[in-house]
Amino acid sequence: MNINHLAKHTALLCFLLGNSAAIHADESIAIGAVTVESTTIDDGVDSKTGVSNTMTITGEEVEKINPHTITDILNSVPGVTLSNVGTDSVKVHIRGIENQMYMGEQPGVAIVIDGVPVQETSGKINIDLDNIESIKVIKGGASYLYGNDALAGAVIITTKKAKAVSSSKAEAEAGSFNSKRLMATTNQSFENSALQLQGSYRGSDGYWDESYVSVKSINGKYSYYLNDTSDITLGLDYTKRETGDGNSVHGTLAAKTDPRSENEYSYSGYYKTDLTKGFVTYSNSFGEDSNLMLNVHTYIDDKTYKTARTKTDKNEIWNQNGAKGEYRTAFDILGLMTGFDLQRNTTDERAYLAADGSLQSDYATEEDINALYGEMKLEVVKDLTTTFNIRYDNIQQRYIDHQESANNVKPSYDVVSYRAGFNYALSKNNALYASVSTGFRTPTVRQMSNNQATLRENPAVDIPSKIGIETSYNYEIGLRGRYAGLTYNASVYQLDRKDYIGRIAGSYITSDDENESNYDNVGDMRSRGFELSVQSDRSKTVAFDLAYTYLDAVFTRYWLSQQVTADPDGRGPLTGDFERIDLSGNQVPRTPKHTVKLTLYYQPNSKATLITELLAKSSYFADEVNAHKLSGYEVVNLIGEYRFSDAFEMFARFDNLLDRKYYQFVNINSSALATMAEDATVRVAPPRAFYAGMRYRF
């Protein structure tokens, strides 16, 4: 940890604390008992006295909108940017932090499901949308709780729990693109236990060519109450996914003439995935002020797919096993939490030539994480609480090439992450908060091995033998509370991203120049912004939710090697035909400055609800060079529900009601010759779509 950064951040926090207490001393109202609400095991509390900007979406709210992808849910969170890169594949970015290559990198956002920081390819979220208890989004560096890759925050998904009530529910839905959904769930309460079981199926041909999806899932939780203060919960989940992401099109002209990408071929597709998750959690409360939780979990992602460009069949098995423990206690004005996080993660990846089935590549990775973390929450004076978090990670990684052992690497890292902040009660219902938090990401072992292999073959090349850790520093100050019947949360922030890890020559370069085709800490980025969420009283006949984001994301230091001469035979760039260009000050691509999500609720009576969603994004650049600006767009969705009785209801959803033509995702390769729009990777948004279904409770 850089001591200068820590000193600077501590000075800033003390300045904020001193000024806040001086300004609002006469308005203070007691905030009640101090308790630590942070946890990485069972996140069921949306803190009202937290020091960071968070937002929680409940399972009931998810059910109201009948989502078809995680995008439909997370669009309502200010500061979140989503890239639809497949039929139901979405990459999540927070506060302008995004990866620039789009070739399998993690996005700098920790994806956590039932306490497990899931390492899914490219940051995509594989989750049964019918099995969501809540989704909590933490914005800003979140490595103080979740460790590696929480540069810009975390998305914490909690699946349905077994409850002390007996009830069941069945749903059926059908709609555009031959989509269909079936779901049945039951929760049964017994004298000393509770059981929740659910089975679901989702299928669709998709809008784009070869964009099918078939997902079958069965899951359940069983909770046994050992006594009045302790319980043990067993959770199991098996999901079988068969998906084709569909194809983007090559260039803006093709986007107009072939929006469904029928004349394109996919670089990778025809995914078959088996997801198996399991965990056991023990919880014991010692009186009202102390609690112990222990968790053991396993997560297996077994995936096969095809690649068109390299003409290979690939198999990847990602296996995550871990154990966590947390102890929380409170002493009047002081709350404490301490925890440990042990992870043993492996991958086993093979590629076979499709033509004859011969083995093309065969390698494995291993990752051991040993972490300690803690939180202290202290009421300094009446109505002013401070929160301090710290986490230490020891990470040991191994790359094992079964065909060429000289490519093996064994890097290890010791990293300290922290957060410090305060919450000051301005009145009974309103509070001021501020914090400084950090995040980090280590280089992947494949990146390290790639550089080592190049150096072994040519020691004279000018590339690093070691790649530095990428870090982030998030500073924010905000207001939250209730006023005039409205619930609100508003914050301003600055997020500095240091030593971004990427290809020296940027995206997709296939140069013979070994100085250009490897990895390094290639630059820094800075995001500044304002985020606002406002909700009115949902019990009224007319209500609304508003989410607004202002985002200014720029490269503060970034040099890129750009191709200047095409190969005469059209096969690629000539060796050495690059020039370094300075992109410092340019906007980070695919980060619109303004994003608005307005949701209107109309409930004429207790049985009917009509919801109108408006999502609007301003213009943005599609490339790092900032040569191509794309127009913004607005999309309107319409959702309706009618409850015939307490048991039976029907629902419907129109997506893109006005049949707006726009692009979900555009990437232009800034390393390519002239960065032409004809080289753009474009995913055209689907046209108007309609879905309808019914729900029966018993």
* Interval 139-163: pLDDT, tens: 999 999 999 989 999 999 888 889 8
Taking the CA atoms of 513, 517, 523 and 525 in sequence, report the sign of the dihedral they define.
positive
Q: Residue 689 to residues 645, 653, 657, 667, 686: CA-CA distances in angstroms? A: 28, 8, 8, 25, 8
- Domain 3-455+462-498 carries which CATH code? 2.40.170.20
Give the residue carrying structure tokens 């001086």. 22
Q: In this structure, which amino acid lies at residue 195? A: L
For residue 46, the model assigns a pLDDT of 52
Least confident range of 298-302, 369-373, 469-473, 667-671: 667-671
pLDDT per position as a tens digit, 102-144: 445 667 888 888 887 776 654 466 778 888 999 999 999 999 9
222-248 pLDDT tens trace: 999 999 899 999 999 999 999 887 778
Per-chain mean pLDDT for the chain: 86
**Are 397 and 469 spatial neighbours (Cβ–Cβ below 8 Å)?**
no
- What b-and-e string marks burial along 242-277, b requiring 16 or more CB atoms within 10 Å of the CB? ebbbbbbbbbbebbeebbbbeebebebbbbebebeb
Task: Specify the pLDDT at position 636.
Answer: 97
Judge whether 296 and 323 are in contact, CB under 8 Å.
yes
Our CA angle for 565, 566, 571, nearest 5°, is 150
Q: Which residues of 68-81 are buried (b: 16+ CB within 10 A; e: fewer)?
A: bbbbbbbbbbbbbb
**For the chain, how long is the longest CA-to-CA vector?**
79
The domain segmentation of the chain, as residue ranges, is 3-455+462-498
Tell me the pLDDT tens digit for each residue of 585-644: 999 988 999 999 999 999 999 999 999 999 999 999 988 889 889 899 999 999 999 999
pLDDT grade for 311, boundaries at 50, 70 and 90: confident
- Asked whether 557 and 584 are in contact (CB, 8 A), the reply is yes
What is residue 542's predicted lDDT score, i.e. its pLDDT? 97
- Amino acid identity, position 639: I
pLDDT in tens, 282-292: 999 987 789 99
**What residue has token string 């990778």?**
268
pLDDT at 278 (0 to 100): 94
Residue 12 pLDDT: 38
- Collapsed DSSP state (helix, strand, coil) of residue 448: helix
**Using CA atoms, how far apart are residues 565 and 251, in angstroms rounded to an integer?**
20
pLDDT tens-digit map of 172-218: 999 999 999 999 999 999 999 999 999 999 999 999 988 899 999 99
Q: Average pLDDT of 318-327? A: 94
- Is pLDDT above 50 for 10? no
pLDDT in tens, 471-491: 999 999 999 999 999 999 999
| Spatial contact of 142 and 110, defined as CB atoms under 8 Å apart | yes
Nearest to 407 by CA among 451, 360, 356, 449: 449
Interatomic CA distance for residues 554 and 528, integer angstroms: 9
Banded pLDDT at 48 (limits 50, 70, 90): low
What pLDDT score does 90 carry? 75
Give the confidence band of 7 by pLDDT, cuts at 50, 70, 90. Answer: very low
